[in-house]
Amino acid sequence: MLKNHSTVGRTIIVASKKQIILPLAVLAGGVAVFIGLSSMKEAPEKKPEKVIHPLVKAAPITISDMRLNVESYGIVKPKYTTELVAQVSGQIIELSEKFVKGGFVQQGEVLARIDPNDYEAALIEAEASLAQASSALEIEQAQAHVAKKEWQRIKNNANETIPSELYLRKPQLAEKLARFKAAQASVKRAKRNLERTYIKAPYDSIIDSRVVSLGSVVNPGSKFGILNSTSVAEIRLPVADHELQYLPQQGVNANVALTAQVAGKTVTWQGKVVRSEGVIDQRSRMTYLVAQVPQPYSDSSKQLRFGAYLNASIEGALVENAIQVPQHLIKDNKVAVLNDDLTLSFKGVNIIRETNGMAIIDQGLMNGAQIITSALEYPTEGMQLRTDDSPISSPETQLALKEE
């Protein structure tokens, strides 16, 4: 029994050795074949190394004269606004069809009429009193003339004496003259009150509101409505204090381009700054300039309506030989420029204004210079660059270029 067990053990050991040796032999054969094949392959041709310079984008600049315009905004308002009020009392017996909100009326046009009967009667009475006073004055003047002639006759036949004013009827004449003037004033007052029964437009205007109706009874001081003059429109334009330096005469007499959306279209009007309010607003800390536009409602195709919101561009000082550059391209008052030999240079510039993400420069750059507009990680003076149009060169080409 022991003998049989030994034979079986030897058989198991022999089988295990075969299982290990056979895979190792196959792996070694594969490696040998791979090495053989690799040795038969030709070595790849060695290509020259290419030098790739940073790729940049550049844009040419153009030097030109430039206006330092100042941007602002405002709301259109009438230059003159009038609140109509009654100066006499009575019942309203007439109203104009144009006397409605939004109606246009001409200067002197009658908008309403107060019952004039009482005032017509007062005028008749005043004229009658004036006629009586005029007649009394003429009689008294005649009597004074007779008294003077009588005194001249007596003077020639008697010793010289000074006549009394009463004898010459001077006090009586003065009284009649005073009554005549008072009667004249009464007639003038009666005519004025009668004229005030007509409520008229003081100027060409648009009706802002009306608060009375036909048959209403008004008293002195009662309101009729509000009128806005259509002769001139005004726009208050806020300007920051530091922006005034770009406006000649601080903006007074400057031209203004005003734009707004009308019926979905952009419309432009031309105005002029007529004055500065001369103070700084306590809340906004702005200085206000006032621009005017004459006859804002004259052109029916683009009426400048009161209450409209406008954007304004105030004409500023003229700068000769100026350049406009995006602000992000300037660092420490220097601009990266691409030279003709595709190298980088930093040019110092003088910035006179920064606005809306742009910087205006008047010194430091030449006309036609190429400004680098793309970002560089580590830009240095004189570094070699390339653009989309420039080829990628090899070390041999770079050396040949340097030797030339």
264 domain residue, yes or no: yes
Residues of the chain with pLDDT under 70: 1-20, 22-51, 147, 151-169, 389-404
- Residue 248 shares a structural domain with residue 269: yes
- Residue 338 shares a structural domain with residue 310: no
Provide the CATH number for the domain around residue 358: 2.40.420.20
- Give the count of beta carbons closer than 10 Å to the beta carbon of residue 302: 15
13 domain residue, yes or no: no
Domain that holds residue 143: 117-195
Q: Domain boundary at 195, 212, 240, which?
A: 195
217 domain residue, yes or no: no
44 domain residue, yes or no: no
387 domain residue, yes or no: yes
Number of structural domains, the chain? 3
**pLDDT tens digits for 152-185?**
666 665 555 665 565 566 777 788 888 899 999 9
**pTM tops 0.85, yes or no:** no
- Residue 329 shares a structural domain with residue 311: no
- Under 8 Å between Cβ of 175 and 207: no
- Residue 328 shares a structural domain with residue 314: no
- Residue 139 shares a structural domain with residue 190: yes
- Return the pLDDT at 394: 42
205 domain residue, yes or no: no
- Return the pLDDT at 158: 52
Q: Which residue has the tokens 């052109």?
A: 299
Instruction: Kindly give the interhelix angle for 117-157 and 170-195, rounded to the nearest 10 degrees.
Output: 160
- Which residues lie below 8 Å from residue 206, measured CB to CB, with a gap of 6+? 102, 103, 104, 105, 227, 228, 230, 297, 306
- Residue 140 shares a structural domain with residue 179: yes
- Residue 184 shares a structural domain with residue 247: no
Identify the helix (H) or strand (E) that includes residue 55. Answer: none
- Residue 180 shares a structural domain with residue 190: yes
- Residue 304 shares a structural domain with residue 238: yes
106 domain residue, yes or no: no
Q: Domain boundary at 174, 195, 216, which?
A: 195
- Return the pLDDT at 391: 55
Smallest CA-to-CA distance from 254 within 242, 239, 232 is with: 239
Hey, what amino acid is at 26?
A: V
